Amino acid sequence: MEAWFQCRQLTKVLDGYCIRDIDFGLEAGRVLGLVGTNGSGKTTLLRCLLGSYRIGENEGDRGDIELDGKHFQRDQQEFRQSLACVMQAEPFYGLMSASEVGQRYGYFYRGFDLKKYMGLLKTYEVPARQSISTLSAGQAMRLQFAFMQSHEAKLYILDEPVGNLDVEFRETCYELIRELSSKGEKAVILSSHLVTELERIADTLLWLYREGDTGRQRYFGETDALRDRYRLLSTDRTREELQKSGIGEEMIAGCRLRPTHSEYLLYDAEGFSEERLRGTELSGARCADLQEIIYYTEKGEER
């Protein structure tokens, strides 16, 4: 059965870079965390979902995106009415002021509440009449939050929204995400490098990685299920000694080797269960958090 939001085999070719075969779905009421190293294609993917990158304009482009039965190209207008976003790179024209943004772009969104927007600008302490290019990075981000909240959307897409925010507003942002996803008929896609914070809030994860000039999908699924597939083993044994004790090379997803003490990230596609670990060499391995999983996997072997 198709998910409420579905992205099927999305491939987007750009000049010198592409993302390939990105496939994931999302149900209403959920938060999808989008993670990956720099250059893995997170922002490219989000731009494809939002329409600023057009699927089909370059040779090799393909894929389908649907939200609540609306196709991203056949029902473009309705599809985009259901989207709201906060982008890492300010999408509005720099010489516009915040109030102009509301007046000129809010016009296109059904049910856009200009009064609410102006109120949120005041609450978030964003100068309404100053041009965007003169705002601080944090103010420009809060402007986008105000715009995002001022019309009724179904899918909220946030690309690295908290990097330039102070701690207080960061918590406001996470609270807002929880509130939006709790309503049942909405969902959030959140891309962030702050993986420890993302882990608190995302119940589903899409993990991208970079292979040469291509962004690919490494994992899509429940965050808990991903954690179950990994364990972190701290030991003074060498790689060769571990292999002799039954921990195969294919199980080692990454490691940090030191002369006296090393750490190994172990991977099992079926997941590590307590029964399986008991009495084995792996009984000393602990659960790895998301940051460790991503770090060790991307780093490979570190000496």
Interface with another protein (CB under 8 A): 50-52, 54, 73, 76-81, 83, 85, 87, 89, 91-97, 99-100, 103-105, 107-110, 129
**DSSP single-letter state for residue 165:** S
How many degrees, rounded to 5, is the angle at CA 298 between CA 297 and CA 300?
65
Cβ-contact 29, 181 below 8 angstroms? yes
For another protein, the closer CB: 104 or 244 = 104
CB of 259 to another protein, least distance (A): 49
Q: What does the alpha-carbon distance between residue 294 and residue 279 come to, in Å, rounded to a whole number? A: 28
CB of 182 to another protein, least distance (A): 25
- Which CB contacts under 8 angstroms, 24+ apart, belong to 45-49? 45/10, 45/12, 45/19, 45/208, 45/215, 46/85, 46/87, 46/157, 46/159, 46/189, 46/191, 48/10, 48/12, 48/19, 49/7, 49/83, 49/157, 49/189
5 forms beta bridges with 26, 67
Amino acid symbol at 183: K
Distance of CA 54 to the CA centre of its chain: 20
For another protein, the closer CB: 159 or 292: 159
Residue 68 CB, nearest distance to another protein (Å)? Answer: 14
Inter-axis angle of helices 167-182 and 137-149, to 10 degrees? 20
Q: Smallest distance, Å, CB 109 to another protein?
A: 6
Q: Minimum distance between the CB of residue 254 and another protein, rounded to whole angstroms?
A: 36
Nearest residue (CB) to another protein, 71 versus 244: 71
Smallest gap from Cβ 143 to another protein, in A, equals 12
Nearer to another protein, 75 or 268 (CB): 75
Q: Whose Cβ is closer to another protein: residue 51's or residue 163's? A: 51
In angstroms, the CA 211 to CA 187 distance is 29
> Least Å distance between CB 40 and another protein?
20
Rounding to the nearest 10 degrees, give the CA dihedral for residues 93, 99, 100, 106: 90
Q: Which is nearer to another protein, 188 or 294 (CB)?
A: 188
Taking the least distance from each CB to another protein, the nearer of 100 and 281 is: 100
